[in-house]
Amino acid sequence: MKKIRWGIVGPGEIANKFAKAIKNVKEASLVAVASRSEDKGKAFAEKYDIEKVFCGYEAMAESDAVDAVYIATPHPFHKPCAELFLNFGKHVLCEKPICVNAKEAEALSICAGKNNVFLMEAMWTRFIPSIIKVQEIVRSGVIGEVRGIDASFCYASSIEEEAKLFQNDMAGGSLLDVGVYGLHFVSLFLGNNPISVSAEAIVEDGCDCITNVLLRYERGAIASVSSATKLQKPADAYIYGTKGHIYLPHFYGAQEFFVRCGEEETKITAPSLGDGFEEEIIEACSCIEHGKLESKMLPHAESIAMLRLMDNIREKIGVKYPFD
């Protein structure tokens, strides 16, 4: 297999994790980085031994040096950046959420299809071994029928630490930043079409700082998802069944989990290859190699459904962005 040549768009904090992980993927090579800041791009390239530095995203899009890109820009720039590269025939792995609303995601899916190139949301949680294993166990019926799920991803930050989280025009707030993990997790076991959605939030300056979501499903299950940027809470998840339950510490990047049925508890370890990003890169490379336009593990429809759900939640808590 010929190595797929990757470029990073936007050398921010999350891009560091991708740059480290891709070195562990034999099917890929990191050959370029694009930044609006030449100094920032050069510093990132030097840190990770990247050959090419592009000052401006357009320059990378026009180049024949890369086959695929990982988009790590802030939320509002996901769609325009992805469209730019898709239109130049580049495959795209875009950091979560793939767009800020469902309308944008639908347009991006159409754009990828027109250009006959691969597009996937970089929701790395869906690809790590522990989550794959939990899905297998749930399907086996060990814990019975799933009747409830709790998933929390909360942390306390400040405008001084990460300003964009608290800016409405940057699609700030906890829901799109970390609530998306819990919603994706729930959808793996209960689907992406709840029959009832309720939500409460603390909203400041147009950004949700603390959000609690309750979802009810036709199959007789209720899920609770909480997210926050101004609250410390364990980032854990529970899946409750009619015969037992599964507990996942740090569910979004879990390396181990616990299955309890009656008085018996089993600890299962399923480590990732590295920092957790390797598996999604491997999936993207495999899809590109085989000429697929989307991944069966995370198809466009699933990403769109998650954004449609978040659109619904934002409407209920009164969060509206300028680009909605």
- Give catalytic status of residue 233 as yes or no: no
Q: Using CB atoms within 10 A of its CB, is residue 211 exposed (0-12), middle (13-18) or buried (19+)?
A: buried
φ, ψ of residue 279 to 5 degrees: the values are -65, -40
CA atoms within 13 A on the CB side of 316: 18
Nearest partner of 278 among 33, 82, 27, 94, judged by Cα: 27
For residue 291, count CB atoms less than 10 angstroms from its CB and return exposed for 0-12, middle for 13-18, buried for 19 or more.
exposed
Q: Give me the sheet containing 28-35, strands edge to edge.
A: 52-55, 28-35, 4-9, 68-71, 91-95, 119-122
- Comparing C-alpha atoms, which of 166, 148, 254, 149 is closest to residue 210? 166
In whole angstroms, give the CA distance from residue 30 to residue 121. 19
Q: Which of 233, 199, 202, 200 is nearest to 216 (CA)?
A: 199
Which of the following is catalytic: 79, 90, 96, 230? 96
What token pair was written down for 24?
């562990």
Q: Cα separation of 193 and 136, whole Å?
A: 21
Residue 64 — φ and ψ, nearest 5°?
Answer: -90, 10
324 secondary structure, DSSP code: -
Reported for 260-266, long-range contacts at CB under 8 A and 24+ positions apart, including other chains, are 261/142, 261/143
Q: Tell me the catalytic residues.
A: 96
